[in-house]
Amino acid sequence: MYSLVLVVCAAALTHSALAARVCSKPPEVLFATINVVKTVYDVGEEIEYTCRPGFVPNNGQRKYTCQPTGKWPLNTLLCLPKRCPTPGQLQHGKIDFIDSHYQTLPFLEYSIFLAVTCPPPPLSEFGVLSYRHVKPGNISYYMDTIIFECVPPLALIGNETATCQANGTWSSIPECRAVTCPAPSGIENGFLNFAVRRTYHYNETVSFSCQSRYVLEGPKHSRCEKTGNWSTKPTCKEPCKMPVKKAVVLYEGEKKRVQSDLKEGILHGETVSFFCKNKEKSCAYTVPVQCVDGNLTLPACFKGMSQANFKTDPSDMKPCEDHE
């Protein structure tokens, strides 16, 4: 048992000792190429990085030699975009970051923050797609975001925003498409204002109105959406007929006779108060009810004047001090 463990350990040691005599693939430097690309390098072998077109090396080292330990020396090369607008300022801003993290971050990780830029996104669609930077400046670094726009009336299909990713590409690029909606249909108990029967372009709107005494609820406008559908249309809410033939009620703060003043009923959303009687205290109190799309429910306490034996209408009785 022991001997087996020893054999395995010895084998592992030999293996690592052997492995130390070559270097594995050198670290990748963003926007740089290496002159000799292999999977293993001999000790003493030298490689050289070259920044890709459009990028310039910082003052870090470009040549590295495979060390007897089987490791490459710490890579200090950065390839920075040539178009860097204010390199001095930029370096200054980021140097603090390197100073405080140099010891803990692997080289590639902080080099990403410094060197990754995304090229301007391809805008091949005849200039209909444009974008703007969220932050000022013309160069997009890692994590920077841009916002796209399409020339009206084209609709932007896809993600409106894109983020510069660690590998120097944009997270997504939308497209601009012509979208039309069919001639809009009308709404119940209402109509389209000034509507011409035609197809509509993306983002065009139509507006609606209701027939007399109907109340429009929801958005007044409907918009032709990217899907080619109309956005939610409003609805027309029905007025309420008064559910009693004769009664005195409170409406807009005044006593009104249902049979003469409120013949047409009340509108959706409006409130009337009915008078209810407290027999023990011979007083009256009011109970408000609201018209909801043609429905108006009488309060349970209310006994209308149609009931024959009424001597005193509750609306003429003294108001109760308070009622339960």
Ligand X SMILES: *[C@@H]1O[C@H](CO)[C@@H](O)[C@H](O)[C@H]1NC(C)=O
Q: Which residue ranges make up the site for ligand X (CB under 6 A)? A: 85, 137-138, 145, 152, 159, 161-163, 165, 167, 169, 171, 203, 227, 229, 292-293, 295
Q: Select 240 or 276, whichever has its Cβ closest to ligand X.
A: 240
* Pick from 170, 236, 230, 240: nearest CA to 206: 230
CB of 217 to ligand X, least distance (A): 11
CA distance 53 to 230: 49
Q: Select 227 or 312, whichever has its Cβ closest to ligand X.
A: 227
CB of 297 to ligand X, least distance (A): 8
* Residue 42: its H or E element: strand 41-42
Q: Select 183 or 292, whichever has its Cβ closest to ligand X.
A: 292
Single-letter residue type at 185: S
Q: Select 51 or 296, whichever has its Cβ closest to ligand X.
A: 296
Contact 162, 148 (CB under 8 A): yes
Beta carbons within 8 Å of 106's beta carbon, 6+ residues apart: none
CB of 183 to ligand X, least distance (A): 13
What values do phi and psi take at 180, rounded to 5? -125, 150
Per the listing, tokens 């290496």 go with 34
Q: Select 190 or 319, whichever has its Cβ closest to ligand X.
A: 190
Per the listing, tokens 């979208």 go with 179
Q: Select 169 or 207, whichever has its Cβ closest to ligand X.
A: 169
Q: Select 159 or 211, whichever has its Cβ closest to ligand X.
A: 159
What values do phi and psi take at 308, rounded to 5? -60, -40
Residues in a beta bridge with 316: none
CB of 272 to ligand X, least distance (A): 16
Contact 210, 216 (CB under 8 A): yes
* Residue 91: its H or E element: helix 87-101
CB of 262 to ligand X, least distance (A): 19
CB of 168 to ligand X, least distance (A): 8
CB of 75 to ligand X, least distance (A): 21
CA angle 9, 13, 16 (to 5 degrees): 135
